[in-house]
Structure 1
Amino acid sequence: MPELQCENEVDTKRKAFPYKIVKVDPKINSKLLENFEGEKTGFVQVGPQKWLFPNRYQEEANELYNFEVTPDDVWIVTFPRSGTTWTQEMVWLLSNNFDYEKAKTIPLIERFPFLEFSICVHPDIKERFRQENSKCLNKLKKVEELDKPGWKIFENYSGRRFIKTHLPFSLLPPDLLRTGCKVIYVARNPKDVAVSYYHLNRLFITQGFNGNFETFWNYFENNLVHWAPYWSHIQEGWDRRNEENCLFMFYEDMCKNQQDTILKVAEFLGIDVSEKQLNKLDDHLKIENFRKNDSVNFEVLREIGVLNSKEQGFIRNGKNSKNSTYYTPELEERVNLWIEKNLIKTDLRFPKILK
């Protein structure tokens, strides 16, 4: 596989990006491009874990790795569809004096920017959005902001920074957990992640997945979806669970008792919560209310055509489904064997899912 180059030396404070970036095997790349229509150039794999990303990652890898962390940052780190948005909203409200009015009027993607979303916005897809929104200057402005790199967004950011990322720890700034900032890592069992991630890849035009669930699972199991491999990602989070500035949580535990989760996160962030505040936030975060919340549902992206109107919304049911209809008996058996095989390699164990 041909090796790609990543710009490294900018100044003495910056670290050279430590991993090789290679193009995905041409035959595999061709299949990926057929199924993930949001990418038009191709895919790359990074380092010994072979993290999979769209082609644009190679342009931004060094900037993401050298992103300057500040002591009062709050980071949410997850593999996609692991309870990320729910955690973001909870953390932001806890950290901003429960300002529900501001949370309602300012979209979560502005309050809690997604560090590397720009790598998913291919120029051809952006041009499509431009054409579709050509008659509205306000929408065109939003389109132009779509592929603005996260580090540029935060250059002129005022106040405390709240940062979302799906990058694994090994590709994030190496001093992330040494700066004093707070990092919350959330893990979710792979069966539910895969179903939810399947729907997200069909929902976002920037991903543009056009296959069925079994086809998606084949990619997921073989580490050929964005931000994969899944097991390496959560293992890196698990390995840092005892770090002073890292809080590791399972999504399954968070769902069992929201109020306990809120109090645990509040304690980690050093925030006192009254019973009245706790009850209100608990109600705000309940899935039946969360699903109706335009601020967290990426409505701003739907307005400019980034979301496929024929697919389910961004916030779906938020449930842990013990017996999912997506898995045929044959696929269920295969998936269970895959999970068992990977759990042998780690002491990480997912909480049991209750019916």
Structure 2
Amino acid sequence: MSTSLEMSSVDLSGLCDRVLAIYVPEGHILRLEENNNFEIRSDDIWVITYPKCGTTWTQEIVWLVCNNADTETANTVELDTRFPFFEYPFTNQKRVIRKMPSPRLIKTHLALPVLPHQIREKKPKIIYTMRNPKDTCVSMYHFVKLLTPINYKGNFEEFTKEFFMGVTVGHGSFWDHHRDYWRLKNEMNILILKYEDLITDLAKEVKRIAAFLEKELTEEQVQTIVEHCTFKTMKDNSASNQSHIQNMGLMRAGMGNFMRKGKIGDWKNYFTPELNDMVDQLNKKYLEPEGLTFDYE
């Protein structure tokens, strides 16, 4: 993959329960020890995803569930302030997170083996949102093309083959990431969501999240959250649509937005039969034996 960032393969065997090679920016490598030793609180709430799998959407829903459907604040205070990004690459958000009152709401894309070590002991609540690999790939392709620090020049076919080899923007293999968290689905402190279910029946998924977080919501509050968290509403909300990334000069102007389509099945507009067969075979190899399946339309 052609990028303007220096990417390195790091052997994490000293930090993980198993050997794992992840291609990451050099700055990430320098922070691995800091990440590993970060102090966890048992009442933390972590939203974890592979990139472009519904992270922002899940964050906004979780924040509203935890804050009595306070859409006024959600419309005026940036989501990254309300729900900081643990491994944010441009400023050290861990200093901010350490000072946050409990319960802290924290976002991360980190693969399971490189999460802070204390997560295994303290068992905070974790909400993991997954998405079908084909739509994830399309969304990631458009996102990477927007990013000025990466300057990706490849076409969609090249990107897809690289993406599913795990050589992407710093979070390892799509397959390992999803599979590792899926294997924890029966843990009491883990809730697994699927992007496709959020699209199909958002109210039902809001109620699942509320029940998991032990929050009582009225039907009116559920509907308020549903209306606030439609794709169109969030795309138009400057507090949650990540437009500040473009304002910082990190996304190319006039080439699209962080929030693009938010639908199931857009992959059909991009995948050739060859690419489709490749992903189907990888899916059968890595996810289907685990009982993990997705809706694709």
TM-score relative to the length of structure 1: 0.77
The one-letter code of the counterpart of 2:149 is T
> What does residue 15 of structure 2 align with?
none
The one-letter code of the counterpart of 2:237 is N
Moved more, 63-72 or 326-335: 326-335
In the alignment, structure 1 segments of 5+ residues that lack a partner are 1-31, 119-146
CA shift digits 1:50-96 (9 cap, x unpaired): 12211111210011111111122110111111111100000001111
Matches within 5 A, 1:162-181: 162-181=105-124
CA shift digits 1:147-192 (9 cap, x unpaired): 2223223233345321110101210123315425211011111111
Which whole-Å CA distance do the structure 2 matches of 1:339 and 1:240 have between them? 19
> What does residue 16 of structure 2 align with?
none
Q: Which of 143, 151, 160 is equivalent to 1:208?
A: 151
CA shift digits 1:8-53 (9 cap, x unpaired): xxxxxxxxxxxxxxxxxxxxxxxx4xx222x1x3323343221221
Structure 1 position 88 matched with structure 2 position 59: yes
> What does residue 238 of structure 2 align with?
294
Identity %: 31
The one-letter code of the counterpart of 1:100 is T
Which whole-Å CA distance do the structure 1 matches of 2:225 and 2:172 have between them? 33
> What does residue 3 of structure 2 align with?
36
The one-letter code of the counterpart of 1:36 is T
Q: Is the 8 A contact 2:62 2:209 kept in 1?
A: yes
CA shift digits 1:255-313 (9 cap, x unpaired): 21100000000000111111111111111111121211111111222222112113221
The one-letter code of the counterpart of 2:33 is N
Give the number of equivalent residue pairs.
290
Displacement of 1:326: 0.9
Q: Is the 8 A contact 1:43 1:52 kept in 2?
A: yes
Moved more, 210-219 or 148-157: 148-157
Structural RMSD (CA) = 1.7
Q: Is the 8 A contact 1:63 1:151 kept in 2?
A: no
> What does residue 259 of structure 2 align with?
315
Q: Is the 8 A contact 2:135 2:267 kept in 1?
A: no
Q: 1:322 to 1:57 in 2, by over 3 A?
A: closer
Which whole-Å CA distance do the structure 1 matches of 2:75 and 2:61 have between them? 13
- Three-state SS of the structure 1 residue aligned to 2:236 is coil
- Three-state SS of the structure 1 residue aligned to 2:269 is coil
Which whole-Å CA distance do the structure 1 matches of 2:11 and 2:54 have between them? 25
- Three-state SS of the structure 1 residue aligned to 2:106 is strand
The structure 1 segments of at least 4 consecutive aligned residues displaced by more than 4 Å after TM superposition are none
The one-letter code of the counterpart of 1:168 is A
Q: 1:247 to 1:177 in 2, by over 3 A?
A: farther
Displacement of 1:322: 6.5
Which whole-Å CA distance do the structure 2 matches of 1:192 and 1:71 have between them? 34
Matches within 5 A, 1:74-153: 74-118=45-89, 147-153=90-96
> What does residue 173 of structure 2 align with?
229
Structure 1 position 250 matched with structure 2 position 215: no
Q: Is the 8 A contact 1:177 1:183 kept in 2?
A: no
Structure with bigger RCO (C-alpha 8 Å, 6+ apart): 2
Displacement of 1:113: 1.0
Q: 1:255 to 1:178 in 2, by over 3 A?
A: farther
The one-letter code of the counterpart of 1:332 is N
Displacement of 1:323: 5.4
- Three-state SS of the structure 2 residue aligned to 1:164 is strand
CA shift digits 1:302-335 (9 cap, x unpaired): 2221121132211111111065211122222222
Moved more, 333-342 or 190-199: 333-342
The one-letter code of the counterpart of 1:160 is P
Which whole-Å CA distance do the structure 2 matches of 1:209 and 1:266 have between them? 39
Q: Is the 8 A contact 1:114 1:165 kept in 2?
A: yes
Structure having the higher Rg? 1
The one-letter code of the counterpart of 1:42 is M
